[in-house]
A and B are shown apart, each in its own frame.
Chain A
Amino acid sequence: MIFQTMEFLEIIANITTAILLFLKPLVTPIGEWMVDWITTTTQFFKDNLGASLSFYIVVFIVLVVSAIVVNIIWPGDRPGSIFSKGIGKLEEFEDKIGISDDEDIVDEIKRCKDCGNPVGDSEICPLCGARQI
């Protein structure tokens, strides 16, 4: 059991070695650049904001309070004030079109009063020849 575990770990070691040997030359230079700016940034913090924790406590409180305010006003799951113009326009369009749930589109087609054949805008029925006044 121990030998199987060791063999398994060796296989894992070989696989991860292969992955890292391939990716290391790509990732290491990026890491060097990251270390540079992180060192500069932490040095800036140490030089200018390293006296007491008050600044950090204030930032924490401001972040929490502002998050509460912002996410209550704009929760994102319903139209807030920012969307009201868009919804108004949509309702306007619906009024113009005059779409009603009760209306049946079949009733809108013009039919011949004699034979009932659909005539559209024509004045004479193409089936029975009756004049549509």
Chain B
Amino acid sequence: MGAVKNMVRGFIFTGVYVLFTLAIPLTLFTLLFSIEGLPFEWEQIDQHNILFWLTAFGLLASGFAFFKYSSPKQSIRKGIFALIQVIINCLYLWSYKFSGASEIKFIIIDYGFFTLDISQMILIYMGVYFLTIVLKIYDIFDYTINREKIRENRMKE
């Protein structure tokens, strides 16, 4: 029964990941690029590039999500795949939110342009991700050292 439950959980979370990392962003970006007559426009967007890397890293994130969420609780393999998934999430966010560039330029038609540089904000978010990676590495060590006790508790449930 445990295997079935884990599979179902894995599929549910993969579905959520596919929705939030692939379906919604792809739909949003496709709609955004097709709208005409906005009072401002993006200047440096490479549409094909963004959609490609969104899809590529979204697929990786969803695949690793399935492995992670279908693994037993507090298992070593869950810890390892959780760590890999955080790293993939970093790559995904880099290609998606920041498009590899931390300066966003909006053209205001007939007036000029407006530039927003969020490089400092990116550095702090990346620092937070580093802390998350440290936590995942700690989890792996914890699950490995205490694996007998964790297995006993899991068998009892």
Contact = CB atoms under 8 A, between A and B. Distances in A.
**Are A and B close enough to touch in the complex, i.e. CB under 8 Å?**
yes
Contact of A60 (B63, B70, B73): B63
A31 B132 CA distance: 12
Interface in B40-85: 52-53, 55-57, 59-60, 62-64, 66-67, 70-73, 75, 77
Contact of B124 (A28, A50, A72): A28
Interface residues of A, number: 41
Given A59-B63, A64-B66, A76-B72, A31 B52 contact: no
Interface residues of B, number: 45
Interface in B77-100: 77, 90-91, 94-95, 100
Chief secondary structure at chain B's binding surface: helix
Contacts of B154: 76-77
Contact of A35 (B57, B62, B67, B122): B122
Given A35-B122, A53-B55, 7 more contacts: A28-B123, A30-B127, A30-B131, A64-B14, A71-B71, A72-B7, A79-B155
A63 B77 CA distance: 13
Interface of B: 1-3, 6-7, 10, 14, 52-53, 55-57, 59-60, 62-64, 66-67, 70-73, 75, 77, 90-91, 94-95, 100, 120, 122-131, 151, 154-155, 157
Nearest to A63: B63
Given A38-B126, A53-B59, A56-B55, A67 B67 contact: yes
B125 A31 contact: yes
A57 B58 CA distance: 10
Contacts, number: 122
Nearest to B128: A27
Contact of B70 (A35, A41, A68, A77): A68
A128 interface: no
Contacts of A61: 63
Interface of A: 20, 24, 26-28, 30-35, 38-39, 41-42, 45-46, 49-50, 53, 56-57, 59-64, 66-68, 70-72, 74-79, 83
Contacts of B75: 76
A76 B4 CA distance: 12
B127 A31 contact: yes
23 contacts: A20-B124, A28-B123, A31-B125, A34-B123, A35-B122, A38-B90, A42-B91, A45-B56, A49-B56, A57-B59, A59-B59, A63-B63, A63-B67, A64-B14, A67-B70, A70-B77, A71-B7, A71-B72, A76-B2, A76-B73, A76-B75, A77-B2, A77-B155
